[in-house]
Amino acid sequence: MRPDTPADSTDHTAEAERLLRTAAQYPEDAEHLLLHAAAHLELAGDRPQATTLYDRLLAGELEDASLVRALKAANLWEYGHEAEARAIIEGLRTTAPRSPEAWVIAAESLETHDELTSAQEVFTEGVELLTVQGEEIPYDCRPLLLGRHRVRRLLALPHDVWDVLADDAHSSSSPISLDELHDPKRTWALGSSDPEELSAEIARLRAELGTFRAALSRPFPVAVLHWPSTELAELLAAYPTLTSEYPSHEEHLATIESSLRELAASGTENLGIVTATVPSYEAFAASEGTSPTDTSLLPQYATTLAARGRAVAWPPRGECWCGSGVAYSDCHGTDS
C-alpha cells in the first residue's frame, strides 16, 4: 500500500531530494510529492528522515491525515519504535478513519510483525466500517477484504460472510481461488530443493501476477483531461508547441465531449473528467523527469489525477462539466 513504490534500481536518496525540491516549488502539490519522497527515504534506509517528513505533513492541512499516520506508524515500527507505532495504530482504531488505505497499512504492519490476531481485528474493523453486506464492495475497500481473508487463513479461522465476499471479489478477476492463493503451505514450496516443485510454484505465481496486472490496468475512472479557459491560456503561453494539441478552447471542450461519447458507445464504463492546472501539470512533469511539452504526458497526468480521486463522473446529472453553470442537458449534453 505504499504510494507508488519505486523500482529497486532507483537512487532513492537522490529521488527523495528531487521530490523535496519540487514540493518547495509547487506547494499546492506538496502532500503528494512529500509522501513519495518519504517512500523513497524508507527504501533508502533513512527511516528517521522519513518520519520527519511524515511529521511535517501532519503539521499541515491534509486531505487524509489518517493515511499519513498509518504510514508513520509502519515506518516507526521498522526501526525499533514499536511502542510509538502501536500507540498510533490504536489511535487510528479509536478515530475510525474513512480511509481504506489507512486501515490496510495499519493491519499489514501488525501482520508483518506476526501480530496476526490484532491484524485480523484491525482488518475486520475497517471492513465493517467501510462496507455493507449485500451491496457492491467499493474497489478501494477490496484490499481490506483480501487482507482480512489472508490473515484469517493464517490463523486457521473458519470462513464467515466477509470471507465469502472476499472470495467473490477475487474470483471475478482471477482463475486461482483465494483459499489457494492464501494457503500458508504455498510458501513452503518456494523454499523447496525440488526443482519440479519450484518450477510449478513459479509458474503459478507468474499466472497470478499476470492476472493482478490486468486487474490493476483500470482501477480508476477512465478520465479525460479538462483545461479551464484561463489554465489553457496560461499553458499555451508557457508552452506554445502544445497549440497543436489544443488549437482553441472551444475545440478542446468539443473534443472532450466527443471522446467521452465514443468511449461510452464502445461499452467503456466508469468515465470521468479531471480538471487540470498548469502548476500541477508542471509538478507532475518534474516528477516524471520530462518536459511539459511532451504530449504523451497528458493522458498519464489525467490518470494520475483520477487515481488521486480528482475525477468527476461523466455524464453529470446537474451542471455541465465545462464550468458554464448551465445544465449539462442544455450545454454539452445536447445532441446537436
pLDDT at 333: 87
For residue 100, the model assigns a pLDDT of: 92
d(CA 45, CA 269): 42
Which CA distances in Å does 64 have to 70, 201, 274? 10, 39, 20
Q: With a cut of 60, say whether residue 180 has pLDDT above it.
A: yes
Tell me how far apart the alpha carbons of residues 336 and 334 are, in angstroms, rounded to a whole number.
6
Alpha helices in 6-130 (DSSP H): 12-25, 30-43, 47-58, 65-78, 82-95, 100-112, 116-130
More confident residue, 152 or 103: 103
Contacts of 129 (CB under 8 A, 6+ apart): 96, 98, 103
pLDDT at residue 206 in the model = 66
pLDDT tens digit sequence for 257-302 = 999 999 888 888 888 999 998 888 887 787 777 889 999 889 888 8
pLDDT tens, position by position, 268-278: 888 899 999 88
pLDDT of residue 279: 84
**Number of residues in the chain:** 336
135 CB contacts (<8 Å, ≥6 apart)?
A: none
At residue 10 the predicted structure's pLDDT band, cuts being 50, 70 and 90, is confident
What phi-psi label fits residue 332: left (phi over 0), alpha (psi between -120 and 50 degrees) or beta?
Answer: alpha
Q: Which of 60-64, 91-95, 273-277 has the lowest mean pLDDT?
A: 60-64
Across residues 48-66, what is the average pLDDT?
Answer: 90
Query: Residue 222's pLDDT is what?
Result: 82
pLDDT over 90 at 2, yes or no: no
Within 10 angstroms of residue 217's Cβ, the number of other Cβ atoms is 7
In this predicted structure, what is the pLDDT of residue 215? 44
Q: What is residue 187's predicted lDDT score, i.e. its pLDDT?
A: 45
The pLDDT of 143-164, averaged and rounded, is: 88
Q: Are 57 and 36 in contact (CB under 8 A)?
A: no
Q: What is the pLDDT of residues 189-242, one digit of tens each?
A: 555 566 766 666 667 666 655 555 544 444 456 889 999 999 999 999 999 999
- Residue 217: the pLDDT is 47
φ, ψ for residue 175, nearest 5 deg: -80, -10
- Which pLDDT score, from 0 to 100, does residue 216 have? 46
- The C-alpha R_g of the chain, in whole angstroms, comes to 23
Which amino acid is residue 252, in one-letter code?
Answer: H
- Among 214, 230, 227, 215, smallest CA distance to 305 is for 227
Q: How far is the CA of 14 from the CAs of 9, 10, 64, 67, 245, in angstroms?
A: 12, 9, 27, 24, 33
Task: Map out the domains of the chain as residue ranges.
Answer: 12-189, 190-217, 222-330
Count the neighbouring beta carbons within 10 Å of the beta carbon of residue 104: 24
Does the 12-189 domain belong in CATH 1.10.3720.10?
no
Alpha-carbon dihedral sign for residues 120, 124, 6, 198: positive
Rounded mean pLDDT, 29-47: 90
Mean pLDDT over the full length of the chain: 84
